[in-house]
A and B are shown apart, each in its own frame.
Chain A
């Protein structure tokens, strides 16, 4: 664990950590020596020396305490500093590294895990040098020092105290292995129960509406009962092991006591010496048991550190050493040439996919879900790199263009809009902080965000809440479009919203999109019929290839997939709801 900590730390902090550990070791050793001093001290006090004989030893004890205090002081200070430095380093390294990862890495699951890791995980790791190392080191080192010194006084008693070690170690190991499986089972059962709880809450309307009231959701109750059963099994499995550990630790005390009594009664060991050694043996028991308790906390921190390392070792998106520069600055075309790509090996989403979007034209992507529409736009924005073939923007392979140059040319307007917990104005401005007031207001007006700001209590300074929860879905889209307008990139990748908006919002969003689309190269995942029909070209995707390509009229004339799709969608668009049975046109 310490070695692992050293690998993630910067050199000055690593030195600090080493100093902390050294200080803690000194503390533990001095503590052991202090305990061992009891032997001569008690020998003098209880024996013939009396107080005058004990004085030098008391002096020695005082000296040890002084050393202990200094080591304690400095190791605590450096422990805190290491902890603080550790958290700073881990946050910075996580932040820096995560910024270089491909956009495709950020799935919902990963971002959730990462947020958890960087809030709770780092704090847990930070606690290791600050709080956790001391009791652990003390628990193991002090008894060892005491035993070593006991050999100097009486090897038989020292040996008697040692019988405990192999027993305790074996018990610790066996228990660990025995509960390992149970622990995993319990974790799985808890996760299952957690999932059922969320489902229960989320599906409450449906459960209740279909008569599953109070005791209706059997699956939840089963999962909760299973969670309890696995917890119980874990406990019952852990108790004998823990008992074995505790008893083997105390067996050391008992054996010193018994052997010591025999020896003392036989006259081969002095009473004061025995008493002192018994005090030492008794002092053993507690720290070891504390250490066993701390094991769990230490494991949590270790797990977090492990996950931090996993993130830090994830391959970043390769960047070109010297970014290529497009030969024609006015070229804003997008092209995919013979591209193959899959999220999992063996199941390609795109295979040999080719499509060219000439500069300043609009191409609509149409096709069933799973046909690869989203993947195409993600590859252009370099969420991932293609496995085969080339993705070219402005005539240059995106891998050679470099992230910065690529991002300066492309705007993304996707369905899941993330807004920062800041004001509306700040959320828009982040697209181009150096933009003038006039440019900002123009973008906001074109995206019709000015109407939203006018309605809100604090106007442009209204905070939108984490993730933009204070705004409706349509309003969030408008803010995201305003961002794209302000950014003013020549290429726009647009994923049209599927969810229905109320008429006002829908109208506003469409106005905003029109403003964004003007004079740009557009690649649109299109859902609305009007959008599709107005595209310069329509690409019908099927199973990772372009099945049909052409203008609306050309494709209708082809009477293929697109024509069927169009007919069906048109019929759906005119649908009217009535209570009279079967009035569909």
Chain B
């Protein structure tokens, strides 16, 4: 991929703040390969140098053997030039040893560099991910993180560990060999080059032609098809089996398999003639035949000395191997390059802007103010439009509305999952964007439905916000969250590792996360009301814990059941990203608007239950 954008080195600096969500879609590759590998550049240069020396050294033994032939064939009246013979043999042995030693050293160096750059890249990725907007971590992007930090960095192995040295060898070995051969006999050299050039040209035509490239892409698509058919087949099999139709998904899967198989055959057949011809022309057997045959003709015409054929028989065979080797690893190199591009793309994701030093400001009080907030996940439409709302300290504000109305989006703006695209959110009069992240999260915490426990001890999980909390404080929080007794029952108690020695049910995990929030003790709390009903087995315990957590804080609640928040100080009804009504429960009921209608539906669904006894006609269901 020529010139992957070194000119885009700088991410656009004038992007509006908070456009991070959008940038993931276009994901400009702003970081070049050179910059990714900068930390090991020195070692890679050294490895390439060692490999160049090694390549020269590896050609010498062949030259020496040819020279030995000359010495041994030139038997004079007083026998061989013994001293010269031993010298030449010694040089052959020594340079071969040196060549292998240097190759090993270069390879080891490149591999160690690869090992180190892997760590460096993973650290950079992790550090960067710690700064991108929280909203970036969608399901898709979490998968991206796993592949980029794990698989992609590993896939770059070939690029760092092998390609640099392989390339050096592929250039130096033919150059040195050809140099020597030209010096020996330029005409024979040209003759030797004929099959080599022909073979390489065939090879290049095969891999470079439009139809080959199209075939390669098609092959990639066939692979992708069988991949997704496999995923679908294996994940969906329980579904199709229960419908007694194993045949269906199965058919799609076997069709994809047959496609792949027959495509593979067609594809290799279409290239087979060229590739086989090229490989045969370049094969050592043919080169030997060619060099000795044509060389023999030269000798018989008196154009060359028989002895001069020796270096050609020795070096000519070795000319193509390194280049072909490079061709074989072409696929690996391509994969490594695209892996590197993905890594670079993640590193190029715009981080959430932090206030420049000196521009931070200190909030006065904990009143939260949404001021004509506008927000869109993309440029096309806005999820929130002109939303203004004030949360007074110590009050409960509930957000209600149908799914897609923007209540979750609005609630997530407060802990800065995203930045607003218009308007402002202020705490104590200070814009969120002018609060350093650490300061913000000492003011705002949240409890959502998806609990995130770390594979660490129970104690560390609870004390996440305050690692220095005393055991008493941790236990008190756990007790208030109704999880203390459960933890005490564990074999390791508070030291049990979550996910290994301690497995928690959904409700228990929920209560642990509440204990965590209790210990963090922030004045403002964002809460998803569904949390209270996330686990039917321990609803009451979760609810008691939530009631304790809510006490005395400024609360913003995403509400799904209206009944839960009927006592809230303020209920804001959202529809299509706007607040259409707000007030207390009684006021809203009296207004007879959207809220009153939802309340009626909620009441009705609360009374329904499936029954086998009462047959339902289609009409009754409407």
Contact = CB atoms under 8 A, between A and B. Distances in A.
Q: Is B a genuine binding partner of A? A: yes
Interface string B60-76: 01100110110011010
Nearest to B144: A201
Contacts of A239: 104, 108
Interface string A454-496: 0000000000001101001000000000010001000000100
A531 B610 contact: yes
Interface in A562-576: 568-569, 571-576
A114 to B, nearest CB: 4
A261 B243 contact: no
A221 interface: yes
Given A221-B123, A531-B609, A577-B567, A278 B317 contact: no
A503 B598 contact: yes
A215 B455 contact: no
Given A38-B288, A83-B264, A362 B560 contact: no
Contacts of A61: 285, 288-289, 292-293
B238 A103 contact: yes
A87 interface: yes
Given A221-B126, A227-B119, A246 B100 contact: yes
Given A285-B96, A433-B245, 17 more contacts: A46-B307, A50-B299, A119-B230, A197-B149, A204-B130, A204-B137, A208-B134, A224-B119, A227-B119, A228-B116, A231-B118, A261-B85, A278-B65, A445-B622, A487-B243, A500-B561, A531-B609
- Listed from nearest, the 8 A-B pairs whose CB atoms lie closest are A91-B257, A271-B72, A534-B609, A572-B539, A210-B465, A500-B530, A530-B609, A517-B610
Interface in B78-104: 80, 82, 85-86, 89, 92-93, 96-97, 100-101, 104
Main secondary structure of the interface of A (DSSP, over half): helix
Main secondary structure of the interface of B (DSSP, over half): helix
B396 A534 contact: no
Given A95-B253, A228-B115, A571-B540, A515 B292 contact: no
Interface stretch (A151-159, A336-344, A518-526): A518-526
A368 interface: yes
A470 to B, nearest CB: 12
A445 B253 CA distance: 31
Contacts of A34: 284-285, 288-289
B235 interface: yes
Contacts of A52: 300
Interface in B545-561: 546-548, 550-555, 557, 560-561
B366 to A, nearest CB: 13
A216 B130 contact: yes
Interface in B223-254: 223, 226-228, 230-246, 248-250, 253-254
B372 to A, nearest CB: 26
Given A228-B115, A515-B621, A214 B127 contact: yes
A209 B452 CA distance: 12
A69 B280 contact: yes
B436 to A, nearest CB: 9
B568 interface: yes
A433 B245 CA distance: 10
Interface in B281-303: 283-286, 288-289, 292-293, 296-297, 299-300
Interface stretch (A162-170, A302-310, A405-413): A405-413
A410 B242 contact: yes
Which of B402, B449, B543, B607: most chain A CB closer than 10 A? B543
Contacts of B567: 576-578, 583
Nearest to B526: A209
Contacts of A553: none
Contacts of B283: 31, 68, 72
Nearest to A575: B543
Contacts of A579: 394-396, 550-555, 569
Contact of B272 (A80, A514, A576): A80
A203 B452 contact: yes
Contacts of A228: 115-116, 118-119
18 contacts: A30-B285, A45-B292, A54-B292, A77-B272, A95-B250, A118-B234, A219-B454, A221-B123, A227-B119, A235-B108, A261-B86, A271-B69, A420-B239, A431-B243, A448-B621, A503-B602, A575-B532, A581-B551
Nearest to B157: A231
B464 A500 contact: no
Contacts of B258: 88
A214 B130 contact: yes
B35 to A, nearest CB: 20
Given A61-B292, A211-B465, A576-B567, A257 B130 contact: no
A194 B146 contact: yes
Contacts of B613: 361-362, 536
Which of B104, B142, B244, B268: most chain A CB closer than 10 A? B244
B355 to A, nearest CB: 14
A511 B75 CA distance: 105
Contacts of A300: none
A161 interface: no
Nearest to B135: A205
Given A209-B446, A472-B403, A584-B544, A407 B243 contact: yes
A111 B402 CA distance: 35
A290 B109 CA distance: 19
B485 to A, nearest CB: 15
Given A92-B257, A275-B65, A503-B562, A418 B236 contact: yes
B389 to A, nearest CB: 16
Contacts of A215: 127, 130
Interface string A77-92: 1001101110110011
Interface stretch (A17-25, A247-255, A320-328): A247-255
A442 interface: yes
A41 B533 CA distance: 89
Contacts of B249: 420
A268 interface: no
A442 B618 contact: yes
B616 interface: yes
A515 B227 CA distance: 37
Given A58-B289, A515-B616, A51 B299 contact: yes
Given A198-B145, A504-B601, A578-B550, A516 B610 contact: yes
Contacts of A278: 65, 68
Contacts of B240: 430
Interface in A374-424: 381, 403-404, 407-408, 410-412, 418, 420-421
Contacts of A412: 242
A34 B287 CA distance: 11
